[in-house]
Structure 1
């Protein structure tokens, strides 16, 4: 059985949601980043980590793609143009949404007080809003890659949820309604309400 390392209100939620979508059982160790528990699985203390047998995997996106490939679901097949398009969107989401949110978090509570530059957050919020508008314009169907739920849907929804919690401006109605439909998925609800 898989084990997910990391609190639900972190990127570990992505992995938990993925496992719920795949119908795979897992244990959950809801530890905080940089905690002694987290460092047992990743020396840097970063979460999430996924334990699969003797292997410990790190980085939420790498873990999600590993699980999708291993179980043959929620992804286009490797070596196809569809997969290249999916990967391009996944990398764009990491660069243009996730990285912006992480930068804002670092200047809010991650960095020591003396290293924080609170003034940067306004420009980060503006950049996120620009990216959200691009994503909304791209959305043309029930899912980002067309008719099938894939990793980019999960990743984008998690970023939108994170932006709400971080006090960023709401995305437009089209994207907001789409994100709500993703949060209404039974697998999302199961992961979000999981306790340890």
Structure 2
């Protein structure tokens, strides 16, 4: 791996999509290795076998949220400054999305194809869909004045939210709020999103 810039490990059907999208939004060059989870090329950098992994200057960084926030901080874009009230609100939105959206979708995935078949409980998905619908109503109340979550400026939680909404459609989790349907349509039209998803 002689590439000296960023290297993203993970296929676009995983949370690696968030990292690829962020790099496209930032206009940063990178190498993409579409390795699946738990493959040899992934375990070498993350013993848990999870993707994505970002290699920066020979150092691996794991967890999609940690990676995209690192990139935003490093390049001074799509984030508010640490120690400000705006950053506290941004981090609160990020955490809400991880707790209420990402967690429900991941739990549904675990009981669909991740866990060994004898440990899956498909009935759990009904309660997860109910929680997901309730969380959408809460989130819409937290939207700022503007096209993006925090208002006029696209920030880290927008990447997470849009990715979760795409994931939800694939998992047949209904998006019941018109505000979120319109938002997703806008985000999917972004050239950076389309370039990342084409990987």
Indicate the TM-score class for this superposition, using the shorter chain for normalisation.
Answer: over 0.9
Which residue in the other structure is 2:68 paired with?
Answer: 64
Q: How does 1:14-29 map to 2 (within 5 A)?
A: 14-29=18-33
Q: 1:137 is matched with which residue: 136, 141, 148?
A: 141
Q: How does 1:164-179 map to 2 (within 5 A)?
A: 164-179=169-184
Which residue in the other structure is 1:163 paired with?
Answer: 168
Q: Deviations over 1:135-176 (max 9, x none)?
A: 223324211011100011111000010000001113322210
CA distance in 2, matches of 1:163, 1:34: 23
5+ residue gaps, structure 2, are none
CA distance in 1, matches of 2:171, 2:44: 29
3-state secondary structure, aligned to 2:151: coil
Q: 1:151 is matched with which residue: 153, 156, 174?
A: 156
| Aligned pairs, number | 194
Which residue in the other structure is 1:48 paired with?
Answer: 52
Which residue in the other structure is 1:79 paired with?
Answer: 83
RMSD of equivalent CA atoms: 0.9
4+ runs deviating over 4 angstroms: none
CA distance in 2, matches of 1:171, 1:192: 24
CA distance in 2, matches of 1:22, 1:158: 17
CA distance in 2, matches of 1:118, 1:97: 18
3-state secondary structure, aligned to 1:41: coil
Which residue in the other structure is 1:124 paired with?
Answer: 128
> Cα 1:171–1:25, aligned 2, differ >3 Å: closer, same or farther?
farther
**In the alignment, structure 1 residue 11 sits paired with structure 2 residue 30:** no
3-state secondary structure, aligned to 1:51: strand
Which residue in the other structure is 1:189 paired with?
Answer: 194
3-state secondary structure, aligned to 1:125: helix
3-state secondary structure, aligned to 2:91: helix
5+ residue gaps, structure 1, are none
CA distance in 2, matches of 1:171, 1:189: 24
CA distance in 2, matches of 1:174, 1:62: 27
